[in-house]
Amino acid sequence: MLQLNIAICDDVCKDAEALEGMLKEMLPDSVIRKFSAGEILLKLLEKTGNPFQLIFLHIQLHGKDGISISEEIRKLDKQVPIFLISDDDRYYKQAFEVFAYQYLIKPITKSTLSRSMAPLMTGWDKEQGPLLYYHYRSQVYSVKQKEIRYISSSLHTVNFHLKNGKIVHCRGKLNEFESQLDPSMFVRCHQSFFVNLESVTGKVQDRFLLGDYEIPISRSCGKEANRRYDEFLKNK
């Protein structure tokens, strides 16, 4: 079942809850977070990077309007699909300028939502692959495992180093994530490291090379890590 992180930003509580209910029917395994103000959503994105695969944004928000919020989001993430929601059709031109994926007019129906999302869901279903879930300030987020280069831990903080150069942090221990990781992709090479074998560019003695970066291979993990790496190369 398709699993997504979805943000709904709408200060009309009943509308946000109605949309959440429809999305849960369509995507029961997804994580949905509601925001009552665009500034709150932006603050999260600026601090942690964008953890969402889909954003629903009401245009007629109090404070910064949805068009302005979309402009700020596009500075941080040019590709995330944004569904702009409006009470009328006055903002089509502005929606086009901020590269909105869809423009939905309230009240949103199940059939309209399903039809609007169908192309996205088909594409995601084919390419998403397994997700890794983590907690940040009592909320649950996810990241595509194939986007992770390696995972490190230090002082009860786990760091997910992504291929785009960003680092996602959460409190916890490395062992807590081992059961989630795709065993055909990730291998533990050290007490403090998991590496994505698809990101490994070479190996020298007791280190994996990820471009210019080196990940240590400990004695306790070395036999299994080397076996898995050799197996990966044979099947590549």
Q: 228: Cβ–Cβ under 8 A, 6 or more apart, which residues?
A: 187, 197
CATH number of 146-235: 2.40.50.1020
The domain 5-127 is classified under which CATH number: 3.40.30.10, 3.40.50.2300, 3.90.550.10, 2.60.120.1570? 3.40.50.2300
How would residue 133 be classed by pLDDT, with cut points 50, 70 and 90? confident
Residue 127 has a pLDDT of: 61
pLDDT-based confidence at 136, cuts 50/70/90?
Answer: confident
For the chain, what are the domain ranges?
Answer: 5-127, 146-235
What number of other Cβ atoms are within 10 A of residue 222's Cβ?
15
State the Cα–Cα distance between residues 139 and 85, nearest whole angstrom: 24
% of residues, the chain, pLDDT over 90: 64
148-154 vs 193-196, strand pairing mode: antiparallel
Lowest mean pLDDT among 2-6, 34-38, 51-55, 144-148: 2-6
pLDDT digits (tens, 9 = 90+) for 40-59: 999 999 887 888 989 999 99
Across 8-22, 54-68, 170-184, least confident range: 170-184
pLDDT in tens, 107-123: 999 999 999 888 877 76
**Between 136 and 232, where is the model more confident?**
232
Task: Considering only residues 8 and 183, tell me which one the structure prediction assigns the higher pLDDT.
Answer: 8
Residue 183 has pLDDT above 90, yes or no: no
The chain-wide mean pLDDT, for the chain, equals 90
Q: Which of 45, 43, 85, 89 is nearest to 65 (CA)?
A: 85
